[in-house]
Amino acid sequence: MSEPESLFTIQIPVPPKEVLPAIELASEDWGALWSAGRDGGDLRLPVTVGLRQGRLDGRVEVAAHGKGSEVRFLVEQSEYHLWIQAVVILAIGGFGGVMTVLWPFWPKLLQVAPFGAVLAFSAWMLVVARLENRSAQEFLEAVERVATAPEVEAELEFH
């Protein structure tokens, strides 16, 4: 359930006071829970790593770094679970792929070989083609994009 603490950092070329609203906007976009504090806050970030989904809970700290800011996300707790439905679909697709490949050795499988090919292809399209990764580092990169985007700067001034 929990893994050792991990630290993710990124340097952003904007002052810390502009980074905190960017974290809030990026959190909303990612579906994360953000509780802002004075120099950072607490973050509950949903993540996806292949067939595993979960969340990272931790503390975000924003500090001045040269002319910009350094954002640090210290993961205090992580929780992952396996996407069981996708594993079942892949197992069925694998069975279909085996049927397709083995028919020359067992000619009786020739009748179901096209069905096996359809199963294998369907599993690929339903699961493998849609796999994505959304990690803490990608979240910090999203914060950087939001903080440095020209159209967001005007919005941040009104807050």
Name the residue among 9, 50, 46, 27 with its Cα closest to residue 133: 50
Burial state string for 6-31 with b = 16 or more CB within 10 A and e = fewer than 16? eebebebebebebbbbbbbbbbeebe
* Residue 118 sits in the same domain as residue 45: no
Same domain? 74 vs 144: yes
Q: What is the pLDDT, as a whole number, of residue 154?
A: 46
Burial of 73-89, coded b for 16+ CB within 10 Å and e otherwise, reads: bbbeebeeeebeebeeb
In a shared domain, residues 70 and 148:
yes
pLDDT at 1: 46
Q: In this structure, what CATH number is given to the domain that contains residue 65?
A: 3.30.530.50
Is pLDDT above 80 for 77?
Answer: yes
Q: pLDDT tens for residues 6-49?
A: 899 999 999 888 888 999 999 999 999 999 888 889 999 999 98
List the domain range (segments joined by +) for residue 68. 6-83+132-157
Quick one: 48 and 76 in the same domain? yes
Instruction: Give residue-wise pLDDT tens across range 105-157.
Output: 988 888 988 999 999 999 999 888 888 888 899 999 999 999 888 665 445 44
Q: In terms of residues, how long is the chain? A: 159
